[in-house]
């Protein structure tokens, strides 16, 4: 896996348009939910079935999942004052593959025009809106995970059966 293949996989899941739509749909900064609701945020994130690590002071949350022996995929979130900052990262043999990083910077790293003044980080004014944002973000993550699994060589079941006998 290299940068070009990763970009192909990101394009396959239409990440740029999905993120634009997310930013456009959730952008009421004037009425965003203020404060740091760490415990509530962690409960929302754990609903997706991943073990969440967090830092209460920074309102920082992250998880990684091993997809194959070589590939791991993870996400990190900063959830504070009604803003969702998301980082998406792919590692191959513990080496970060670009354009891993903040999702709002990925389109530019992929060669797309992406006006960050128009498409600001998504914001939420209620926990229901936060949940909607997380549903979309985790949908992107799961779709990317499926694309990466397709890169994995198939398991040779015949050899495995012979070894087990």
Q: Output the average pLDDT for the chain.
A: 91
Looking at residue 72, its pLDDT comes to: 95
- Cα–Cα distance measured from residue 87 to residue 78, given in angstroms and rounded to the nearest whole number: 9
Mean pLDDT across 29-48: 95
Looking at residue 58, its pLDDT comes to: 84
Long-range CB contacts for residues 154-157, cutoff 8 Å, separation at least 24: none
Which letter, b or e, does each residue of 79-100 get, where b requires 16 or more Cβ atoms within 10 Å of its Cβ? Answer: bbebbbbbbbbbbbeeeebebb
In whole angstroms, what separates CA 19 from the centre of its chain? 11
Looking at residue 56, its pLDDT comes to: 86
In whole angstroms, what separates CA 120 from the centre of its chain? 16
Confidence (pTM): 0.89
Q: What angle do CA 98, 24, 30 make, to 5 degrees?
A: 110
């Amino acid at each position: 896996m290299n940068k070009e293949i990763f970009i192909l996989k990101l394009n396959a899941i239409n990440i740029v348009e999905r993120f634009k739509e997310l930013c456009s749909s959730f952008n009421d900064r004037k009425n965003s939910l203020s404060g740091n609701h760490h415990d509530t945020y962690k409960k929302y994130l754990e609903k997706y079935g991943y073990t969440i690590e967090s830092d209460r002071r920074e309102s920082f949350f992250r998880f990684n999942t091993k997809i194959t022996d070589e590939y791991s995929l993870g996400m990190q979130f900063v959830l504070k004052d009604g803003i969702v900052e998301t980082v998406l990262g792919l590692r191959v043999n513990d080496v970060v593959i670009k354009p891993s990083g903040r999702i709002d910077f990925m389109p530019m790293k992929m060669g797309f025009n992406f006006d960050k003044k128009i498409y600001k980080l998504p914001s939420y004014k209620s926990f229901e809106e936060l949940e909607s944002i997380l549903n979309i973000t985790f949908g992107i993550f799961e779709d990317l995970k499926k694309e990466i699994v397709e890169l994995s060589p198939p398991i040779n079941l015949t050899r495995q059966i012979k070894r087990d006998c």
